[in-house]
Structure 1
Amino acid sequence: MDSILGAILAGGKSRRFGSDKALATIDGIKLIDHVVAALTPQVDALIVCGRSWRDLRSLPDRPDPGLGPLAGLNAALHYALVHGHDGVLSAPVDIFPLPLDLRARLAGGSPRTLLRQHAIGYWPTALAPLLDRYLASGERSIRGWITSSGAEAEDDSALDLHNINSVSDLKPHWTSVKTP
């Protein structure tokens, strides 16, 4: 069985949200902790990219902060390559709720993402040099990266996934919500 590194992409500035959305709570649990709880049983090791969080290993975005989620993924791919993992299962901090079967849905030999929530994906570590070149060219688009990497998309239309970009994205869906 392949060794998979879980990577929480959490380096954003939450400009549209107005405060640190990773710390917003749903049912008394911070968004970042929802991601930790969902990914932990699905991966062999877990890291957080772009910020520090509790006792998790933290990686700075690569090559620099402020380059979007691909910089976090790039850091994770290089870490996974050096530490003997076969691939990275990535999830951003602002998707709720995360499916508990992402590894089964996505992991395998080739890169795969969810169709609508494409920052959730599986990335073989062999893609690390390609992502370095992609970012060095000035590209930042996840969709462009998906095309460049040859990733296939898994239909996620039946999943009840919500992208949390603003406080109003929280309120219609959950009754116990708190922003930092």
Structure 2
Amino acid sequence: MEHNKILGVVLAGGKSLRFGRDKSQAILGNKNLINHVLDKILIKFDEILIVANHKIKFNKNDKIDLISDYYKDLGPLGGIYSAMKWIKDNNKPYEWIISFPTDTPFFEAKILDEFLNKTNEKEKKLFFIKSNNKRHNIFGLWSLDLFKSLEKDLLENNERKVETWANKIGVETININFEGQDPFFNINTTDDLEKAKKYI
């Protein structure tokens, strides 16, 4: 799939309840978690959109825009909807968005390339990464063709769970094999952050 069809989207609107504070701003090594993610994807896409509902610090770049959710408290699906609506409201040329969490700092760009190379845009409208038999619902490739359906399910049917909605729509999982350190290790708690520091 051509990268210029895709908008990179970082979902940073979560409340980080288990972490106790905004984990996108937690420091790992010499930078905060969101910059770990941005540094990996910035060279891959023409533009990056961050969806956050509060002020956050990140390394500014002309390719990066920051917006808040159009509708609050809708969870990650609300962030996906907001990114799609931003594309439409601003007449952007993108046909797909690819979503990333802020709490998974160890994935590598080569994983992203493998994922995109294995997707077939003519077969499905939604793809998730799966690694070692675990599906990662925030690492997703979403067609803009899903916008109307997502809008209805969010605003009229009160759908909130990514997994439930994806299964209903029909999602294809792309398996990524790895050995050794888990590139999808995500930081949900302060204990997880301490473990991640040992990886660094």
What root-mean-square deviation, in Å, do the aligned CA atoms of Structure 1 and Structure 2 show?
Answer: 2.1
Q: Which amino acid aligns with 2:169?
A: S
1:38 counterpart (37, 40, 63): 40
Contact 2:115/2:129 (8 A) holds in 1: no
Distance (Å, rounded) in 2 between the aligned partners of 1:50 and 1:156: 28
Instruction: Report the Cα offset of residue 88 of structure 1.
Output: 0.3
SS at match of 1:8: strand
What is the count of residue pairs matched by the alignment? 176
Distance (Å, rounded) in 1 between the aligned partners of 2:174 and 2:102: 20
Deviations along 1:49-72, one digit per CA (max 9) or x if unpaired, are 12455543112213x122211111
Q: Is 1:152 paired with 2:182?
A: no
Q: Which amino acid aligns with 1:148?
A: K
Q: Pick which of 11-20 and 105-114 moved more.
A: 105-114
2:146 counterpart (118, 127, 144): 127
Q: What is the identity percentage for the equivalent residue pairs of Structure 1 and Structure 2?
A: 27
Q: Is 1:161 paired with 2:168?
A: no
**Structure 1 residues 148 and 176, CA gap change in structure 2 (3 angstroms):** closer
Counterparts of 1:71-82 in structure 2 under 5 Å?
71-81=78-88, 82=91
Instruction: Report the Cα offset of residue 175 of structure 1.
Output: 3.4
Q: Is 1:87 paired with 2:104?
A: no
Contact 2:19/2:189 (8 A) holds in 1: yes
Larger radius of gyration: 2
Distance (Å, rounded) in 1 between the aligned partners of 2:165 and 2:15: 21
Instruction: Report the Cα offset of residue 20 of structure 1.
Output: 1.2
Partner of 1:105: 115
What TM-score do the two structures reach when normalised by structure 1?
A: 0.87
Partner of 1:59: 67
Q: Which amino acid aligns with 2:99?
A: S
What TM-score do the two structures reach when normalised by structure 2?
A: 0.79
Contact 2:50/2:66 (8 A) holds in 1: yes
Q: Which amino acid aligns with 1:27?
A: G
SS at match of 1:77: helix
Distance (Å, rounded) in 1 between the aligned partners of 2:28 and 2:199: 6
Instruction: Report the Cα offset of residue 123 of structure 1.
Output: 0.6
Q: Any gaps of 5 or more consecutive residues in structure 2?
A: none
Contact 2:115/2:176 (8 A) holds in 1: no
